[in-house]
Amino acid sequence: MLSEFGLIRQYFERAKPQRAVLGIGDDCALLAPTPGMLTAISSDMLVEGRHFFAGEDPRRLGHKSLAVNLSDLAAMGARPVAFTLALALPEANREWLEGFSAGLFELADLHGCELIGGDTTKGPLNICVTVFGELEPGRALRRDAARAGDDIWISGTLGDARLALAGYRGEYALDAAQQQAAGRRMHLPTPRVQLGMALAQQGIAHAAIDISDGLVGDLGHILERSGMGATLDVDALPAGPVLATRDMAMRRAFTAAGGDDYELCFTAPASARDAVLAAGLATDTAVTRVGRIEAEAGLRLVDAQGSPLDLALASFDHFAS
């Protein structure tokens, strides 16, 4: 039987820490901040049955647990440095731990983000990651920084994660290949870390948020914090490759309000259009202009002709459903 400490040592403790002064094994980890930089901190919890299905593939779960946290750093424009992992596990299953830690470290290594500590306990499967990043003072992509006249931009594509969920729930028929392709977007989100850093470091973008609960709801947070309104061209929203083959009503609904995409929604002045496109190219990330920030309060959804659209869209809210 694997002890708590054996488990930590075998699956989570690696060779000498690179970023931390002291990593796993003591009462606290020790980090030396880069002089003059701010520390960006964020936590996200994944609960079985709420954020993922029971029996979910552990490797994908390891990836997603860190990915959703790195996505928050990306939305702030911060560089990932380190993270902690608090884990409640029903049992110490070696196969599960091997898969989970492999998925976790694969993504961590890709971003040079180091596991520096955590907590492990027995209980219903629950995964909580806290990430630490850094960024220059005054460079953060804050939700309250959108200005009237800013363009609204989206990274990557939207809606395939929501389409996958519809397929799993049997709300909508997908063939096996489509379910798998859309499912990848749901299970293996790509945090837009490089794009977020470029937009922040070069002072290109004003406000940003990562889209976890659906664009309409998440953009609403920017509008509320910034005291602004917006017009969103729903037909300009870039649909994921599987969703792109569906009818217009579903494309509109799932691009505008589907959750779990982990793309960035950001605002930038019209004078920065070329710089945004260059940042997208430099970081190999598609960027699409989808609307405009306006002083008039409220979010106005329009179609390709600019006519008002009335989509009864609700963003995903855990306490409302």
Binds 120: which of Mg ion, ligand ADP, none (CB < 5-8 Å by kind): ligand ADP
For the bound state, the minimum distance from the C-beta of residue 69 to ligand ADP, rounded and expressed in Å, comes to 14
Taking the complex as a whole, how short is the minimal distance between the CB of residue 27 and Mg ion, in angstroms? 8
Locate the DSSP E strands across the chain.
Answer: 38-47, 79-89, 114-122, 126-135, 151-155, 208-211, 229-233, 263-268, 287-294, 298-302
Tokens, residue 128: 């909580």
Q: How far is the CB of 127 from ligand ADP (least distance, A)?
A: 9
E strand spans, 194-314: 208-211, 229-233, 263-268, 287-294, 298-302
User: Does 99 contact ligand ADP by CB under 6 A?
Assistant: no
Q: Which is nearer to ligand ADP, 8 or 164 (CB)?
A: 8
Question: Can residue 298 be called a binding residue for ligand ADP (CB under 6 A)?
Answer: no
Selected from 119, 144, 224, 296, the binder of ligand ADP by CB under 6 A is 119
Asked if 296 is part of the footprint of Mg ion (rule: CB under 5 A), the reply reads no
219 neighbors 290 (Cβ within 8 angstroms): no
Task: Map residues 90-119 to x or -, x wherever contact with Mg ion holds by CB under 5 A.
Answer: -----------------------------x
Q: Which tokens hold the place of 274?
A: 């070329």
- Residues 74, 46: contact at Cβ < 8 Å? no
Taking CB under 6 A as the criterion, which residues in 7-66 touch ligand ADP? 8, 12, 24-27
Question: How many residues belong to the site for ligand ADP (CB under 6 A)?
Answer: 13
Indicate the residue among 4 and 296 with the shorter CB distance to ligand ADP. 4
Q: Which of residues 68-97 bind ligand ADP (CB under 6 A)?
A: 85, 87
Distances (CA, A) of 21 to 29, 33, 227: 8, 10, 42
Looking at beta carbons only, is 108 or 299 nearer to ligand ADP?
Answer: 108
Q: Is 1 exposed, middle or buried (0-12, 13-18, 19+ CB in 10 A)?
A: exposed
Number of residues that bind Mg ion (CB under 5 A): 1
Say how far apart CA 227 and CA 123 lie, in whole Å.
43
CB of residue 117 to ligand ADP, shortest distance in Å: 3
Give which of Mg ion, ligand ADP, none residue 118 binds (C-beta under 5 to 8 Å, depending on kind): ligand ADP
Contact 283, 146 (CB under 8 A): no
Nearer to Mg ion, 10 or 283 (CB): 10
Our CA angle for 240, 241, 242, nearest 5°, is 95
- Binder of ligand ADP out of 10, 39, 120, 288 (CB under 6 A): 120
CB of 11 to ligand ADP, least distance (A): 8
Q: Return the number of other C-beta atoms located less than 10 Å from residue 43's C-beta.
A: 13
| Residue ranges in contact with ligand ADP by CB under 6 A | 8, 12, 24-27, 85, 87, 115, 117-120
